[in-house]
Chains A and B, each alone.
Chain A
Amino acid sequence: MMYLEKYPERLIDEEGNRLDGRKFDELRPIKIEVGTLEKADGSAYIEQGKNKILAAVFGPREAHPRHLAMPDKALLRCRYHMAPFSTNTRKSPAPSRREHELSKVTREALAPVLFLERFPRTSIDVFIEILQSDGGTRCAGIVAASLALADAGIPIRDLVTAVSAGKIDDQIVLDLDDIEDKAGQADLPVAMLPQSGSITLLQMDGEFSKDEFETALNLAIEGCKKISIMQKEALREKYAAPREEAHEDEKSQEKEA
């Protein structure tokens, strides 16, 4: 269905509140779950505002088709894909040029944390499905995908984290939603490695002066650090809690004996 898309005249009110009530440096509410899917080797689910995104990882597994296998390292493949029902107007399920590009930059954002040379002749396949899209999906997809890699037990140097910053009503803000992205003046998606501070994804459209760009980049980095904490919590929830439980059980059994 086509809806009339009307953008409000102002995206930030006099008190500095954005349309959804956030301040300039606030993230949308984020919910992360690790190990959502049964059959994938690793998986994660993220909700960020209205975004709903699933990521799954398979591998390292025998590379198919075989001629793609590399003798000295694993082949990393990523697919960023949007469901036809994820947007206001139905999106054709065939991968668009945008999805091809985002698949490429997502792969390049994740590759630096992997030890691909440890798994020659195999492939590691990362699938990101955008079930509902509301701005900032490439970054949320990377956040989920790096957790799915960890959940698959694949060795990684760090958990890649990502978020965008941008400019709306001449102000630099964190984590644009769909309306802010479309009606705003600039968008800067960033992915980084929280331990080293290395930037692994950087794209930008709109208009920034040099100073605005630096402010936005720093704001995105601060946002990345906050999301990084949530990622670790989500991993702990899946792996640390059951382990503690098992530990408790052991202790009580020892007592009984």
Chain B
Amino acid sequence: MSSAFMEIASKIKHKQIADLIKREKRLDGRTLTEYRDIEILVGPITKAEGSAQVSLGKTKVLVGVKIDIGEPFPDTPEDGVLTVNSEFLPLASPSFETGPPDENSIELARVVDRGLRESKVLDTKKLCILPGKKVFVIFVDIYILDHDGNLFDASALASLVAVITAKIPNYEIEDGEVKILEGLQDLPVQDYPIATTFAKIDNSLIVDPTLEEESAMEGRLTITTKQNGNICAMQKGLEGTFTVEEIQKAVITAQEKGEELRAKALGVRNG
């Protein structure tokens, strides 16, 4: 297809999406605040200390958690370390290219990181082995497998499930050295942050946009809530703007959706 044709096609689609949303409808029949079907697969990667694959409709994200023993940061000598990285794999979308992470992938990883960190998902003090010397280092790697929109929520949910189901070995300290013992233990999980992302299309907000809907969105707003309903991270993206009323409304929806998705995440953890 020529690019001119694609452009016309996308303009027609944009109008169709916007017209539907004005009537509180969407192309796939969902309401404005309804997520697509969510599937969570726990532990597909057995070599990883924790892993999860989340599908939001046709969007597919795999997250692997690897855990090492390493040095703490000098300014937090008694805290374990959590790092989040994301890869927009070229197999996931014709618009993804190989190469170092671009600003979109850095932003995604940092927004997921902020949600996990600011909610204090893990008690990092309990990840300290020898203060100032040895701590557990948790690497969360986000792999986008299939991009059909709303990578933020899919990645945040997969990261959460991978982290709360990850295991570390039992260990003891012998003469200042770490001795690994048999058996595994859970990570010190304290909270369950859930990200809810809104797309703004012609002055309406919808949750969980598909890629098609994203092509028509002017602005994006991600709100991450904790188990107690409080907000722990926010990120506005793209060149569109938001009114104060829109943001306030989005916070309430994010709290509701947070509860809904959290129940799913906890369900797979306990099940």
Q: Please, what's the 1-or-0 string for B62-91, where 1 marks a CB less than 8 Å from any CB in chain A?
A: 000000000000110000000000000000
Q: Which residues of B contact A196 (CB under 8 A)?
A: 241
Q: Which of A111, A202, A205, A208 has a CB less than 8 Å from the CB of B230?
A: A208
Whether the pair A97, B110 counts as a contact (CB closer than 8 A) is yes
Q: Please, what's the 1-or-0 string for A47-78, where 1 marks a CB less than 8 Å from any CB in chain B?
A: 00000000000000000000000000000000
Q: A103-B103, A112-B241, A199-B241 are in contact. Are A210 and B234 (CB under 8 A)?
A: no
Q: Does A12 contact B (CB under 8 A)?
A: no
Cα of A158 to Cα of B79 in the assembled complex, Å: 45
Whether the pair B226, A213 counts as a contact (CB closer than 8 A) is no
Q: Which residues of A contact B232 (CB under 8 A)?
A: 205-207
Q: Which residues of A contact B236 (CB under 8 A)?
A: 105, 108, 199-203
Closest A residue, CB atoms, query B109: A97
Q: A101-B106, A207-B226, A210-B255 are in contact. Are A202 and B234 (CB under 8 A)?
A: yes
Additional pairs, 9, CB under 8 Å, beyond known A112-B241, A208-B231, A210-B229: A98-B110, A105-B236, A201-B236, A203-B235, A207-B230, A208-B230, A209-B229, A210-B252, A210-B255
Q: Please, what's the 1-or-0 string for B236-252, where 1 marks a CB less than 8 Å from any CB in chain A?
A: 11111111100110011
Q: Which of B74, B231, B238 has a CB less than 8 Å from the CB of A2?
A: B74
Measured CB to CB, the closest approach of chain A to B72, in angstroms, equals: 15
Closest B residue, CB atoms, query A103: B103
* Tally of contact residues, B, Cβ under 8 A: 34
Interface residues of B (CB under 8 A from A): 74-75, 103, 106-107, 109-110, 114, 117-119, 221, 226, 229-244, 247-248, 251-252, 255
Q: Which of B103, B234, B247 has a CB less than 8 Å from the CB of A203?
A: B234
Whether the pair B237, A105 counts as a contact (CB closer than 8 A) is yes
Measured CB to CB, the closest approach of chain B to A225, in angstroms, equals: 13
Interface residues of A (CB under 8 A from B): 2, 5, 97-98, 100-101, 103-105, 108, 111-112, 188, 193, 196-210, 213-214, 217-218, 221
Whether the pair A197, B251 counts as a contact (CB closer than 8 A) is no
Closest B residue, CB atoms, query A99: B106
Closest A residue, CB atoms, query B103: A104
Q: Which residues of B contact A98 (CB under 8 A)?
A: 110
Q: A193-B241, A197-B243, A210-B252 are in contact. Are A100 and B103 (CB under 8 A)?
A: yes
Q: Which residues of A contact B106 (CB under 8 A)?
A: 97, 100-101, 104
Q: A101-B103, A207-B226 are in contact. Are A111 and B239 (CB under 8 A)?
A: yes
Cα of A221 to Cα of B251 in the assembled complex, Å: 17
Q: Which residues of B contact A5 (CB under 8 A)?
A: 75
Measured CB to CB, the closest approach of chain A to B108, in angstroms, equals: 10
Measured CB to CB, the closest approach of chain A to B82, in angstroms, equals: 14
Q: Which residues of B contact A218 (CB under 8 A)?
A: 244
